C-alpha cells in the first residue's frame, strides 16, 4: 500500500492512502486527494509520517515534533 504526500491550501503537509478519495485537514478544509499535486510517495505509514514531519520542519523551521518528555 502506497501513501501519497501532499499539501493543503493552508500549507500543512498531509498524507493518506492512495485509495483515499477525500481528506479533511486540521484547518477544516476537505480536500479531494485525486486533484492534489502529489509531492512524494511513501511505501509505509511510518515512512509517510517521517516524511511529513521532515517537510513540516523544512517549511516552518526548527524541530516542532517532540514528545511530551522533551518539553
pLDDT along the chain (71 residues), means of 10: 95 95 96 95 96 88 69 66
Give the CATH class of 3-70: alpha beta
pTM listed for this prediction: 0.82
- Distance between CA atoms of 9 and 37, rounded to whole angstroms? 11
Say how many C-beta atoms besides its own lie within 10 A of residue 62's C-beta.
6
Q: What is the pLDDT of residue 61?
A: 76
Q: What is the pLDDT of residue 24?
A: 97
Confidence at residue 60, expressed as pLDDT on a 0 to 100 scale: 79
Domain boundaries, the chain: 3-70
Q: What is the pLDDT of residue 59?
A: 82
Amino acid at each position: 500500500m502506497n501513501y501519497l504526500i501532499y499539501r493543503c491550501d493552508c500549507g500543512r503537509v498531509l498524507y493518506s492512502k492512495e485509495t483515499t478519495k477525500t481528506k479533511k485537514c486540521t484547518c477544516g478544509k476537505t480536500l479531494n486527494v485525486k486533484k492534489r499535486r502529489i509531492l512524494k510517495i511513501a511505501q509505509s505509514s511510518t515512512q509517510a509520517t517521517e516524511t511529513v514531519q521532515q517537510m513540516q520542519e523544512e517549511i516552518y523551521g526548527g524541530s516542532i515534533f517532540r514528545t511530551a518528555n522533551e518539553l
